[in-house]
Structure 1
Amino acid sequence: MRAKNIKYLVTIGAIVFSLSACEKTFDPSTAIDENSALTTAADIETATIGTYAVLRNPLYVRSLHFLMELPGDELAQGQNSSDDLSRCYRYTHLTTGRHAADFWGQAYKVAAAANKVIAAIPDNATADLKQLKGENLYLRAMVHFNLVRVFGRPYTQGETNLGVPILKDGLTEEETLTLARSTVKEVYDFVIADLEKAANFMNGGEAGKANPFASKEVAQALLSRVYLYKGDNQNAIKYADLVINSGRYELLQGSEYQNYFKGAPEGNKETIFCIRHMKTQDQGWSGLGSMYYSGDANGNAQNQAFSGWGEIYASKKYVNKLAENPGDRRNSFIVPYTVNGVLQTNKKVTPNVPMNYMIKYNLQENLVNLSSPVYLRLAEIYLNRAEANAKLGNAQAALDDVNIIRTRAGIPGHTLASVATSGKTILDVVLDERWLELAFEGHRHYDLFRNNLPMIRNYPGTHSLDAGGNINQTVEPSANRVVFFIPQTEIDKNKKLIQNP
């Protein structure tokens, strides 16, 4: 069945058919059409591939990326945008924000599609069917976790805060249309239960599927993140250990690491789960990378509109942090746009923004704007374990994992003595390394807020437009706009939904 799955994935006609079927069957709200039953294994397999295809829809992958990434401090928007991008970046969210509404609708569409498969397969089914049930449990858990992260406050700020509606299987159509927001704790509990069951149902190790699909280790990797965000450090370590010790993944080294995002994801030993885009699925100017880069397929930067919009850059703050170690291999992900050796600036904002392009979402398989966005990779799992150990007082264990990442980056490691003389805590060191390693992958602002730390911008960007040219912006972890508004269109349809303050 695994070979058949991959055949479906790489066959464009089957993907398009499955995606269009999902579009017709599931509305952007939580409504479910029960008219199409899953009666055979082939139906179930095709439906599962269709659900994966929904993840690739720009309304999901593009909107979710902007909601998770743009509020961070490793990037700078160089010009105001007529798109909802500026509001995501500047913390001036609206109840009618397009990206929040698009992501909400697509996420629940994935959950509704997954529910049909989950309901159709008994827990005592054959191994192949249990694998498919596990994949759908994972997909349902993942989208609920992403939803509660975007629309609910961090777990560590209070487990009784409002999260998002839980769309589980077995609900009537009327129930799905009147779901209230569950608490953050209830959503986390639901996600964890799904992921633990998914890990038990799916294959792992050599029998596990390639990284565009879910497998045992994919569920375990997400469990490590979920438990870390919950503040359950023992379980965050437990699941990180399972992934690291599985032998399925390796940290890429040297030039392979520097070219991490340029190859086909199936050959990447570090990627645990990604949203696969093939050459024929290049989004061009609508792709994520178009916002971050404009240049040729060889990585030579050009002015805006050469190959993309090129209006969001690595922040001066982040570039300066990397510059503390000029040999840091992570500099390979930053491409300055220079003319005759002079770094250019985007002059649409004052102070002007340096045009340091970022290429984590470009140049896959020699196509300028093609990428398969990475959702989970091994480096994060090491850093999850490092953060959990830091919080448990296991300082040396935390530094050991941080140093694995720093050694791979080609820079000196930390010692307990060097941390002590720096005036930083072990947790500070871990969070700094998460920032350096996982930049532009949707982690940073949430890493800060869930640890009760402010997000500080002290560099040029469009945030200065809200302060008369002042480049300094601080967002406290208690601020209302740490989370996005529930889309007003959903509240209009479901009066039980309560808006975020």
Structure 2
Amino acid sequence: MKPQVVIYIAMLLLSSCNKFLDEKPRANLRLPESADDLQAMLDNMINFNEASALNHDAADDFYITEADWNGQTNFTFKDAYIWKADLENESDWLYQYRAVFYANSVIAAVNEIQQKNGNKDLEQYRGAALFFRALSFFNLLQLYAPAYNAHSANTQPGIALRLDADFNKKSVRSTVAESYQQILRDLEQSIPRLLPKALFKTRPGKVASYGLLARIHLAMGNFSAAMLYADSCLAIQNQLINYSTISPTVANPFLRLNDEVILHTNTGSTGAADRTKAKADTNLFKLYELKDLRRTVFYGFNTNGSSFFKGSYSGATGLFGGLATDEIIITRAECRARLGDVTGALKDLNDLRARRFLPLDYQPVAIQDQPKLIQFILDERRRELAFRGLRWMDLKRLNQEAPYKVTLKRKLGDREYTLTPDDLRYAMLIPSEVIQFSGMEQNKR
């Protein structure tokens, strides 16, 4: 992309921050003009490979002490940690809609270039843009809308579905149902346009679209569809790391872009990643058996006996927020168990767990009772996907089922904070400036 185009877009985004992608631009945006321009836009990891932070901060994978909470200078994190009713987070809203804007710009550029010269070789870029737009829309739904419920999705407010790069159009909230339908449409349309596996794991291929579709259908409770998309994903990539080959003594045990990674995204600034303050939730840590290699590969230990998370697939101190084979396998195991395929669920479960123990220490799971097997798989999901940013999604979807409802509790000194399963705070407040400028409906309190 030409340097002046990059600079102009950056200035436009900076100037529009005050209105969070609702401000009218001062001039017409100059779109990319070539395949190289399009790829350069899509390869900007700051725009497209940034996962949300709030779903970490508000979930129950970790705790901090009262002293550390009091010493925090990140007030958004402090408010999220105690589920403050008037919590507003401008960053996650802006970052996700920034990705939507760039995705829409790529789509508009593909349309314009094709109209000029009829070049049909650009559809791969449209496919990638559709994927990233869907991913951002889904991230926004997890933060700013209630959980998907088939009985109420047609009436509950979802998110603003910005489908083009025109700043002149004000944002309007679609329903939860319409929001999910658009996301599914984007991903389904991306599949025929993408390679089975992208050249780099920061780019989406069909395998990423299938994996994200499996995640989304799981969030919607569509277990048959989630299972089928998991099948399609695993048909392209099914590698699992044998954790007996991973050193538990190094600071960052896993390589970035390792064999299990399908699509790499990294979480923005989150208190959950602070190894000096964020301690693994004790109930989470108790879920690991004594000889489970994840106890020492995922966690380090403080002198007071508490533990901290170090097992990020980001290969660094930041938290991985992307797609990986282990998530898709445990998703398929849950779907198979939910649909009554106990044998298939046990196969997936044991295929994964056998690589999380030394061979002599592993005893295959053989639970035949369907409800008990589902609960075991959900516990396994917590063990395997800790600190991935998926716990918030899981809390929202599982709180709709009586056997799995959870009331979250946090203590700071003698103060206790709770979040009940049906609490309206599971849909966080949209930034007030967005509400004032657009007139969109605010989430209820």
**TM exceeding 0.5:** yes
3-state SS of the aligned residue for 2:168?
A: helix
For residue 223 of structure 1, what is the aligned residue in structure 2?
A: 213
1:71-110 aligned at under 5 Å gives the runs 71-78=58-65, 79-80=68-69, 81-83=72-74, 84-95=76-87, 97=88, 100-110=89-99
Q: Does structure 1 residue 137 correspond to structure 2 residue 130?
A: yes
Measured at CA, do residues 130 and 311 of structure 1 come closer, stay the same or move farther in structure 2, by a change above 3 Å? same
Q: Does structure 1 residue 442 correspond to structure 2 residue 378?
A: no
1:80-479 aligned at under 5 Å gives the runs 80=69, 81-83=72-74, 84-95=76-87, 97=88, 100-122=89-111, 128-156=121-149, 158-160=152-154, 161-169=156-164, 172-175=166-169, 178-205=170-197, 208-246=198-236, 248-256=237-245, 262-266=253-257, 268-275=258-265, 291-293=273-275, 310-322=276-288, 324-338=289-303, 344=304, 355-361=306-312, 364=315, 370-371=317-318, 373-410=320-357, 411-417=362-368, 425-451=372-398, 452=400, 453-457=404-408, 463-465=410-412, 468-469=414-415, 475-479=419-423
CA distance in 2, matches of 1:362, 1:119: 34
CA distance in 2, matches of 1:243, 1:44: 26
How many residue pairs were aligned?
A: 417
CA shift, 1:105, in A, is 1.0
The Cα RMSD (Å) is 3.0
Asked whether the 8 Å contact 1:249–1:271 carries over to 2, the reply is no
Asked whether the 8 Å contact 2:246–2:253 carries over to 1, the reply is no
Q: Does structure 1 residue 70 correspond to structure 2 residue 52?
A: no
For residue 25 of structure 1, what is the aligned residue in structure 2?
A: 12
Asked whether the 8 Å contact 2:191–2:206 carries over to 1, the reply is yes
| TM-score, with structure 1 as normaliser | 0.75
Q: Deviations over 1:112-146 (max 9, x none)?
A: 11111112224897565111111111111100010
AA aligned to 1:292 is: D
CA shift, 1:71, in A, is 2.4
Asked whether the 8 Å contact 1:240–1:385 carries over to 2, the reply is yes
Q: Does structure 1 residue 486 correspond to structure 2 residue 430?
A: yes
CA distance in 2, matches of 1:446, 1:53: 23
Asked whether the 8 Å contact 2:244–2:356 carries over to 1, the reply is no
Query: Which has a greater percent of helix?
Result: 1
CA distance in 2, matches of 1:107, 1:241: 28
CA distance in 1, matches of 2:395, 2:235: 28
Q: Deviations over 1:225-245 (max 9, x none)?
A: 011111211111111001111
For residue 36 of structure 2, what is the aligned residue in structure 1?
A: 42
Return 489-498 or 120-129, whichever deviates more.
120-129
Q: Deviations over 1:366-414 (max 9, x none)?
A: xxx5547241100000111112222222222222212222211114332
Q: Deviations over 1:136-162 (max 9, x none)?
A: 111111000100111111113731311
CA shift, 1:254, in A, is 2.7
Asked whether the 8 Å contact 2:57–2:271 carries over to 1, the reply is no
Asked whether the 8 Å contact 1:152–1:483 carries over to 2, the reply is yes
3-state SS of the aligned residue for 2:443?
A: coil
CA shift, 1:469, in A, is 4.7
Q: Deviations over 1:454-498 (max 9, x none)?
A: 33457xxxx2138x355xx65322111112111112112111333
CA distance in 1, matches of 2:363, 2:59: 26
Asked whether the 8 Å contact 2:77–2:270 carries over to 1, the reply is no
Asked whether the 8 Å contact 1:212–1:276 carries over to 2, the reply is no
Asked whether the 8 Å contact 1:249–1:269 carries over to 2, the reply is no
CA distance in 2, matches of 1:276, 1:432: 24
CA distance in 2, matches of 1:265, 1:17: 32
Measured at CA, do residues 150 and 448 of structure 1 come closer, stay the same or move farther in structure 2, by a change above 3 Å? same
CA distance in 2, matches of 1:17, 1:333: 44
CA shift, 1:258, in A, is 5.7
CA distance in 2, matches of 1:291, 1:499: 28
Gaps (5+ residues) in structure 2? none
CA distance in 2, matches of 1:249, 1:257: 19
AA aligned to 1:135 is: A
Asked whether the 8 Å contact 1:73–1:457 carries over to 2, the reply is yes
For residue 299 of structure 1, what is the aligned residue in structure 2?
A: none
Measured at CA, do residues 21 and 436 of structure 1 come closer, stay the same or move farther in structure 2, by a change above 3 Å? farther
CA distance in 2, matches of 1:47, 1:213: 12
Measured at CA, do residues 111 and 384 of structure 1 come closer, stay the same or move farther in structure 2, by a change above 3 Å? same
Measured at CA, do residues 173 and 290 of structure 1 come closer, stay the same or move farther in structure 2, by a change above 3 Å? closer
Asked whether the 8 Å contact 1:330–1:409 carries over to 2, the reply is no
Gaps (5+ residues) in structure 1? 1-7, 9-13, 278-285, 294-309, 339-343, 345-353
Using the aligned pairs only, state the percent identity: 22
Asked whether the 8 Å contact 2:191–2:209 carries over to 1, the reply is yes
AA aligned to 1:49 is: D
3-state SS of the aligned residue for 1:168?
A: coil
CA distance in 2, matches of 1:23, 1:133: 21
CA distance in 1, matches of 2:235, 2:214: 13
Asked whether the 8 Å contact 1:47–1:113 carries over to 2, the reply is yes
Q: Deviations over 1:99-118 (max 9, x none)?
A: x2111012111111111111
